Amino acid sequence: MNSSWFVYMAFAAGLLFAGLYCLLTMKNVIKLFIGIEVISKGVSLALLATGFVKKNTLLAQCLVITFIVVEVSLVATALALIINIYRHTKSLDIRKLTKLKG
Amino acid sequence: MTWQIPLLSGLVLFSILAILSKDLIKSAISLALASVLLGILFFQMNAPYAGVFEISVVAGLITVLFILTIALTKAEGDVRESRLARLAFPLFFVAFILIDILVMKGLLQKVPALPETAETGAFGDVLWKQRTFDLVGQLAVILAGVFSVLALFRKRDKDE
């Protein structure tokens, strides 16, 4: 293990923490989704940094590209859901989604 | 390592700005800037394909989708976020980083990771020959995304 891996992992952990904090404290649905995006940035940084340090960059790149494709699908679906939620409740507040009435 | 520290710091700073900013448009743009910095980092780590994907797809497409959603919902200032959470963030963040630095060094030596062997071949060989199953999964995920968006935006029939 070398020190650069440690530095990358520390920054990735910082990104993960920031995203999780956002998920735990914010109430706006779009803000929550931005938190998920920040977490995903931390994950892709950790993946590629490990590959770079272990001299397995090609494999890490493949995994990151797969991850990005999954992320785009997730974003498209989630933003469509958010627009539907807004049409339904006329608000972006997550607390108004506590009732599962049709 | 010298050129990576400013890029990594910028990435974390813009991500925090995206989370703490009150304006949703500013949040989306900060997220895009963080993606651009991450893409530059990928280029510096000899991963040009991942960098291109990060900059074009995440910084480009996802930001456009975010801004489109914000424009369609037009609910800025509608949701009041708690000020305490925003003010307490730096405290929690610094505490987490300190714990992280103390704990992670010992943890990283124990975690089994990829063996340190030099790779041979080109990117295409690894993607198409070694990770073929991932590509099938990617296709399935893209199709699932397309069908879910179609299902969410379909027009209701009259008899419904």
Question: Which of A38, A82, A83 minimises the CB distance to B19?
Answer: A38
A96 → chain B, closest CA residue? B79
| pTM metric for this prediction | 0.89
Q: Would you call B89 and A81 a contact, using CB atoms and an 8 Å cutoff? A: no
- The mean per-residue pLDDT over the stretch B17-25 comes to 90
The tens digit of pLDDT for each residue in B94-115 reads 999 999 888 887 777 777 665 6
- Output the pLDDT for position B118: 64
Q: Would you call B35 and A60 a contact, using CB atoms and an 8 Å cutoff? A: no
Q: Which helix (H) or strand (E) holds B85?
A: helix B83-110
The tens digit of pLDDT for each residue in A29-88 reads 999 999 999 999 999 999 999 888 888 888 888 889 999 999 999 999 999 999 988 888
Question: Which of B58, B82, B131 minimises the CB distance to A68?
Answer: B58
Name every residue whose Cβ is closer than 8 Å to that of residue A76 and which is 6 or more positions away in sequence: B65, B145, B148, B149
User: In 3-state terms, what secondary structure has residue A101?
Assistant: coil
pLDDT band per the 50, 70, 90 thresholds, residue A91:
confident
The two structure tokens encoding residue A96? 């108004």
**In 3D, which of A13, A5, A22, A2 has the Cα closest to residue B19?**
A22
The residue among B10 and B129 whose pLDDT is bigger is B10
Q: Would you call A77 and B72 a contact, using CB atoms and an 8 Å cutoff? A: no
If one looks up domain A3-97 in CATH, what number appears? 1.10.287.3510
A56 to chain B, any CB pair closer than 8 A? The answer is yes
Q: What is the CA radius of gyration of chain B?
A: 21
pLDDT exceeds cutoff 90 at B17: yes
- Output the pLDDT for position A24: 92
Residue type, B52: V
At the second CATH level, the architecture of B4-115 is Up-down Bundle (1.20)
Q: How far is CA A69 from CA A46, B40, B72, B137, in A?
A: 17, 19, 24, 10
User: In 3-state terms, what secondary structure has residue A75?
Assistant: helix
